[in-house]
């Protein structure tokens, strides 16, 4: 390890690998006296020919905000530095001068990650026992140089520590650009080993709390990443899965992730095994969706709908293709999306709310997944119908990817333009009216009654609307009946305001189960409530109006062979 570190220092000290590259080195200062380690970043580059270079500091990424707060001691050799705002530095220098930028990165956290907060990577996670940080929170970049060549080297590490990153390929001759640095993952810990899985190009590195099923995670990741690479026709090249273990309490379990270009970060607690396959499938696909399909304007609703909902649609396909889930299990997931959408308080919200509130309003954040998944399902059916089965949504997305590759980083068409164009080229299908109506306008999404050659149904049933006839939230909070409406189901059952509530069985929105209340008191004359012994009152929460309910389901009556065939269709095979 020491010899390798010295070699890295010697290589870095010998000068840039190419005259036109931006060269990065990352050192880790050892933890001391219980304090976390600190990252030391060094960047060597030539200044702009005009004598002024703007440096973009880490700022906003996903759920993380104002990441420049964790940057300190920024110094530049060869230039005078000014700060027009917190997220940028202006370097003034001789035209084309050689510059060396140095700064430190502090931890955003003062505790080990736990399942209660779910995502532990909203900033640099630097703990006495490990380092886990997303590139956008670590690496500053020269403005406007996304397509310029870049190199990366590890520098000094604490004694006994080892490190892993998807940027490691830069030291092995695989070309990188400046755009790759803020699309990366860096990990380090004592004795860290990046274990190979699958074809050997996939590496997994585990940091944080123990107790995770490492072998199962490695097998699942190898299976799904392999299937996703086959889907995109990209079967070679290195890929890193960084796993951050979370501690958990008695009633908390969590799993999630962050997708990157040639890596993804997976965070999980020991009892979240049932969520791992879906999480790996979804986050792995983020290596392509949306980053490989075109540029993503943050204010564009379609880019968020595609980025999350289309990713879910393909994640379900990957779970089927790999056999990790059955057709019945995947259809249950799909129906969960439909149920969540149909019962969402923001179902018909205008698309502009999604980019504005994705990280601050949970319902709006979920809407990106729900609206995007249902549109993917709807448009996949339309594309297959228009082309006689020659093409599907996957065909359109791969065409988007192929077209975007023809442009330098950051210069491809935006996602909306690219998708509209690809759908027209592949299927002569004009989706502009649908995007305006459903994505931007927020109109309720309709689905065909039958899909995938009739093996999947979007069944609509009509039943009485849910109405318990009292105010459940206020009543349960006060343990006293409140808001009993005259003539409603609760009133007809003899319940009145003011009755004491001892216990209850109540499922919001479910008309297939009775409401059961154990109350004390009985209706007296007029509005008075007389005291009495506890007794149970059960009634159906049927309202006066009818309500329609949609459900995605496998067509009833299919035999095992037909279900298997339907699974292949759902998988896009």
**Nearest alpha carbon to residue 57 among 71, 43, 44:** 71
Banded pLDDT at 66 (limits 50, 70, 90): confident
Burial of 482 (0-12, 13-18, 19+ CB in 10 A): middle
Question: What is the pLDDT averaged over residues 248-277?
Answer: 85
Confidence of residue 165 (pLDDT cuts 50, 70, 90): very high
Bridge-partner residues for 190, per DSSP? 161
pTM, to two decimals: 0.81
Distance CA 110, CA 34 (A): 11
pLDDT (0 to 100) of residue 531: 62
Q: How far is CA 155 from the centre of its chain?
A: 31
pLDDT higher than threshold 80 for residue 522: no
Mean pLDDT of 324-328: 95
Asked whether the predicted pLDDT for residue 113 surpasses 90, the reply is no
pLDDT at 6 over 70: no
> pLDDT: is 276 or 249 the higher one?
276
Dihedral (Cα; 142, 145, 148, 154), 10-degree rounding: 30
Q: In this structure, are residues 538 and 468 in contact, taking their beta carbons and an 8 Å threshold?
A: no
Answer yes or no: are the C-beta atoms of 460 and 393 closer than 8 Å: no
Q: How far apart are CA 513 and CA 540, in angstroms?
A: 7
What lies within 8 Å, CB to CB, of 557 at 6+ separation is: none
Residue 566, number of CB atoms within 10 A of its CB: 22
> pLDDT of 537-566, one tens digit each?
999 999 888 777 889 999 999 999 999 999
CA distance 354 to 471: 31
Beta strands 161-165 and 149-154 are: unpaired
Q: How confident is the model at residue 469 (pLDDT cuts 50, 70, 90)?
A: very high
Q: Collect all residues with Cβ–Cβ distance below 8 Å to 47 and sequence separation of at least 6.
A: 53, 78, 79, 91, 93, 94, 95, 96, 97, 98, 99
Count CB neighbours of 51 within 10 A: 14
Whether pLDDT at 303 is above 90: yes
Q: How far apart are CA 195 and CA 519, in angstroms?
A: 60
Strand segments (E) across 182-299? 185-190, 195-197, 202-208, 239-245, 255-259, 263-268
Q: How confident is the model at residue 530 (pLDDT cuts 50, 70, 90)?
A: low
Distances (CA, A) of 378 to 12, 228, 383, 448, 473: 52, 22, 9, 7, 37
Mean pLDDT to the nearest integer, 381-396: 96
Per-residue pLDDT tens over the stretch 171-215 = 555 788 899 999 999 999 999 888 887 666 788 999 988 888 888
Local structure of residue 247 (DSSP, 8 states): B
**Confidence (pLDDT) at 529:** 53
> Which residues 6+ apart lie within 8 Å of 544 measured at CB?
464, 465, 467
Burial pattern 209-224, b for ≥16 Cβ within 10 A else e, equals: beebeeeebbebbbbb
Is the pLDDT score of 81 beyond 90?
Answer: yes
Measured at the alpha carbon of residue 382, what is the angle toward residues 377 and 384, in degrees to the nearest 5? 95
Token pair of 351 as six digits: 């698309």
Q: What average pLDDT score do residues 230-250 get?
A: 86
Average of per-residue pLDDT across 12-33: 73
The torsion region of residue 208 among left (phi > 0), alpha (psi -120 to 50) and beta comes to left
Q: Is the predicted pLDDT of residue 52 greater than 90, yes or no?
A: yes
pLDDT at 255: 84
255 phi and psi angles, rounded to 5 deg: -150, 145
Per-residue CA distances from 209 to 213, 214, 254 (Å): 12, 12, 13
| pLDDT at position 535 over 80 | yes
Q: Give me the mean pLDDT over the 291-320 stretch.
A: 93
Identify which of 427, 402, 426 has the alpha carbon closest to the alpha carbon of residue 413: 402
Residue 105 phi/psi, 5° resolution? -120, 125
Structure-token match 């089965």, residue found? 389
Contact 227, 190 (CB under 8 A): no
Whole-angstrom Cα distance, residue 391 to residue 256? 32
Cα torsion through 552, 554, 557, 558, rounded to 10: 170
Question: In which band, very low, low, confident or very high, does the pLDDT at 425 lie, cut at 50, 70 and 90?
Answer: very high
Q: Compute the half-sphere exposure of residue 355: CA atoms within 13 Å on the CB side of its CA.
A: 15
Name 274's Cβ contacts closer than 8 Å, sequence gap at least 6. none
DSSP letter string, 480-534: B---PPTTSHHHHTT--TT-EEEEEE--TT-TTS-EEEEEEEEE-STT-EEEEEE
Q: How many CA atoms lie within 13 A of 492 on its CB side?
A: 12
Q: Percent of the chain beyond pLDDT 70?
A: 93
3-state helix, strand, coil in the chain (%, to 5): 35, 30, 40
Cα 276 to Cα 62, 251, 362, 455, distances in angstroms? 21, 18, 21, 28
Give the separation between CA 285 and CA 313, rounded to whole angstroms: 10
**Contact between residue 268 and residue 243 where contact means Cβ atoms under 8 Å apart:** yes
């Amino acid at each position: 390890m020491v010899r390798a570190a010295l070699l890295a220092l010697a290589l870095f000290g010998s000068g840039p690998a190419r005259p036109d590259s931006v060269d990065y080195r990352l050192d880790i200062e050892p933890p001391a006296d219980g304090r976390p380690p600190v990252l030391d970043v060094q960047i060597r580059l030539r200044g702009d020919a005009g004598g002024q270079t703007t440096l973009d500091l880490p700022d906003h990424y996903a759920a993380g905000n104002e990441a420049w707060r964790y940057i300190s001691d920024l110094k530049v050799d060869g230039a005078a530095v000014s700060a027009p705002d917190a997220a940028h530095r202006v370097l003034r220098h001789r035209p084309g001068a050689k510059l060396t930028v140095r700064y430190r990165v502090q931890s955003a956290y003062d505790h080990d990650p736990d399942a209660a907060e779910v995502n532990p990577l909203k900033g640099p996670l630097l703990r006495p026992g490990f380092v886990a940080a997303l590139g956008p929170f670590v690496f500053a970049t020269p403005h406007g140089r996304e397509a310029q060549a870049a190199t990366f080297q590890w520098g000094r590490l604490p004694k006994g520590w080892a490190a892993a990153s998807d940027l490691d390929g830069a030291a092995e001759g695989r070309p990188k650009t400046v755009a790759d640095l803020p699309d990366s993952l860096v990990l380090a810990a004592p004795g860290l080993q990046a274990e190979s899985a699958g074809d050997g190009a996939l590496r997994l590195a585990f940091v944080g709390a123990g107790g995770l099923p490492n072998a199962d995670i490695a097998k699942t990741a190898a299976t799904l990443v392999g299937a996703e690479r086959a889907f995109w026709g990209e079967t070679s090249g290195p890929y890193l899965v960084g796993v951050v273990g979370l501690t958990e309490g008695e009633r908390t379990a969590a799993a999630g992730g962050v997708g990157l270009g040639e890596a993804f970060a997976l965070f999980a607690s020991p009892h979240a095994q049932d969520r791992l396959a879906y999480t790996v499938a979804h986050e792995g696909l983020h290596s392509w969706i949306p980053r490989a399909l075109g540029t993503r304007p943050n204010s564009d609703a379609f880019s968020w709908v595609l980025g999350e909902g289309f990713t879910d649609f393909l994640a379900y396909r990957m779970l089927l293709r790999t056999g990790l889930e059955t057709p019945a299990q995947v259809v249950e997931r799909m129906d969960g999306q439909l149920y969540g959408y149909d019962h969402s308080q923001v179902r018909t919200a205008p698309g502009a709310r999604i980019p504005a509130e994705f990280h601050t309003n949970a319902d709006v954040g979920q809407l990106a997944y729900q609206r995007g998944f249902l549109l993917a399902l709807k448009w996949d059916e339309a594309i297959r119908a228009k082309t006689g089965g020659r093409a599907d949504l996957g065909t359109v997305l791969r065409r988007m990817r192929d077209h975007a590759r023809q442009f330098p980083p950051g210069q491809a068409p935006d996602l909306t333009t690219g998708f509209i164009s690809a759908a027209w080229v592949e299927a002569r299908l004009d989706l502009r009216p649908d995007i305006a109506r459903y994505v931007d306008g927020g109109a309720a999404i309709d689905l065909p009654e039958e899909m995938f050659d009739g093996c999947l149904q979007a069944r609509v049933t009509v039943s009485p609307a849910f109405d318990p006839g009292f105010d459940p939230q206020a009543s349960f909070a006060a343990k006293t009946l409140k808001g009993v409406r005259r003539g409603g189901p609760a009133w007809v059952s003899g319940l009145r305001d003011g009755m004491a509530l001892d216990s209850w069985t109540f499922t919001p929105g479910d008309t297939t189960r009775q409401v059961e209340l154990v109350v004390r008191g009985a209706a007296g004359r007029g509005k008075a409530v007389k005291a009495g012994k506890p007794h149970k009152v059960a009634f159906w929460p049927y309202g006066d109006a009818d309500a329609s309910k949609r459900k995605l389901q496998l067509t009833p009556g299919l035999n095992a062979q037909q279900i298997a065939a339907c699974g292949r269709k759902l998988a896009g095979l």
